[in-house]
Amino acid sequence: MPNDLFSPAMRLLGWAVHGTFLVLLAIALVRTLHDARAGIAAGGLALGALYTGGVVWARHDRRPRPLPARLWLALLTAAWAGLAMSSPDFVWLAFPLFFLYLHLLPLPAALPGVALLTAAAIGAVAWHGGGVTLAEVLGPSVGASVATLMALAYQALYRESEQRRLLIEDLVRTRERLLRAEAGAARLTERERLAREIHDTLAQGMSSIILLLRAARRDLDSDRDAAVGRLAEAEQAAAENLEEARNFVRELVPPALQRSSLPDALRRITESADARSAARIRFQVSGSPAELPVDHEVALLRIAQGALGNAAGHSGAENVGVTLTYLDDMVVLDVFDDGRGFDPASVGGRPPESGAGTGYGLRAMRDRARALGGALTVESAPREGTAVVATLPLPGSEERR
């Protein structure tokens, strides 16, 4: 039987079996020498040497080699049988042999072997005594039963431990798969976050710079002062974009929020967009401003930047409005324009006739709102303008309800 899972217990059981064998053998040798039966004592010493040699060999040879072990067991049984027929003092060595049978042989072969060994022990006692008593029958029978029950209990424990080992291995594999899945999900989430940040900061800034440079080139011959003003605005936009990139690398809050509150930051980006766009862009606050967590303010600022970038780049609007509304349990950001509009159900949610954009902007805005438990809705129709509405719950609003 395998014993690697119970090696400490099996070592203790092994030493107990070996000790029992040697003690019983020593008692038998002392009694045979006392009776001056030197030949039988020499046979007992040979049996002890055979037993000890097999144990030492087994301890140094860790490979599972059942054939030599069973041959050793057969030699032990034959030597024991000869000595038991020669002297009743050796009959009780059958008890440690029971454990050897149950340990070295598979159970279907070990149980008949133990039964034959028990019968041989009882027969040897009857041979020497000219008859057999109940006590002489019960002694080997009880020993065989105890050894068998101990072996069966060990096998049951082994099976249960093996099942637990397999379950633990399965749990470890499942945990490893879960960790890999979580790592993949974390990488995907971080990739989405980076994509949103790049789209709402660097990409929008680059788009504004391109528009300003195109306008400056257009005005270079006809209105040099206007062209110089456009170039100055492009330089300012580039500086702001560079600052955004640096903060993006340092994972800090946007520069606009570092210097002021959310309403002031929205007012500044609205005024900046108004200066760079042909559209008239206005901002207003409704309700009493409430302090928001940084992630709420960053999300609303980025949504406003994305919506303003879409309005300036794609809508062709003359008027754009930005409204920040504080309610009892939520904050609402509206960005609306009177531009050409589009079908929100179209692929990517972008104006099909604009011929520009990637369609990522609205999805990024929607993801930002959902990540904070809010929502983003887009209302638009061809030639009827566009309204982007972001709604975020205020912290603690659920408890107040």
Instruction: Please report the pLDDT score of residue 389 as a whole number.
Output: 93
- Minimum mean pLDDT range among 177-186, 261-270, 275-284, 290-299: 177-186
d(CA 274, CA 282): 8
Give the up-direction half-sphere exposure of residue 264: CA atoms within 13 A in the CB hemisphere. Answer: 9
Residue listed under structure tokens 């050409």: 340
**DSSP secondary structure string for all residues of 329-377:** SEEEEEEEE-S----TTSGGGS-TTT----SHHHHHHHHHHHHTT-EEE
pLDDT band at 284 (very low <50, low <70, confident <90, very high): very high
Considering only residues 314 and 397, tell me which one the structure prediction assigns the higher pLDDT.
314
Other CB atoms within a 10 A radius of the CB of residue 77 amount to: 18
Nearest to 348 by CA among 304, 310, 301: 310
Calculate the alpha carbon distances from 202 to 205, 242, 254, 344 in Å.
Answer: 5, 8, 12, 25
Chain centroid to Cα 245, Å, comes to 34
Instruction: Please report the pLDDT score of residue 290 as a whole number.
Output: 85
For 341, list phi and psi in degrees, rounded to 5: 70, 180
pLDDT digits (tens, 9 = 90+) for 164-173: 888 888 888 8
Instruction: Please report the pLDDT score of residue 95 as a whole number.
Output: 83
Residue 302: pLDDT over 90: no
Q: Give the pairing type, strands 319-326 and 280-286.
A: parallel
pLDDT band at 335 (very low <50, low <70, confident <90, very high): very high
Share of the chain above pLDDT 70, in %: 83
The CATH number of the domain covering residues in 260-393: 3.30.565.10
d(CA 349, CA 344): 5
Residue 317: pLDDT over 90: no
Query: What residue type is 213 in one-letter code?
Result: L
Considering only residues 265 and 66, tell me which one the structure prediction assigns the higher pLDDT.
265
Q: Cβ distance 115 to 144 under 8 Å?
A: yes
Q: What is the mean pLDDT of residues 283-289?
A: 90
Q: Which sequence spans correspond to the domains of the chain? A: 8-132, 260-393
pLDDT digits (tens, 9 = 90+) for 40-95: 888 888 888 888 888 888 776 655 556 677 888 889 888 888 888 888 888 888 88
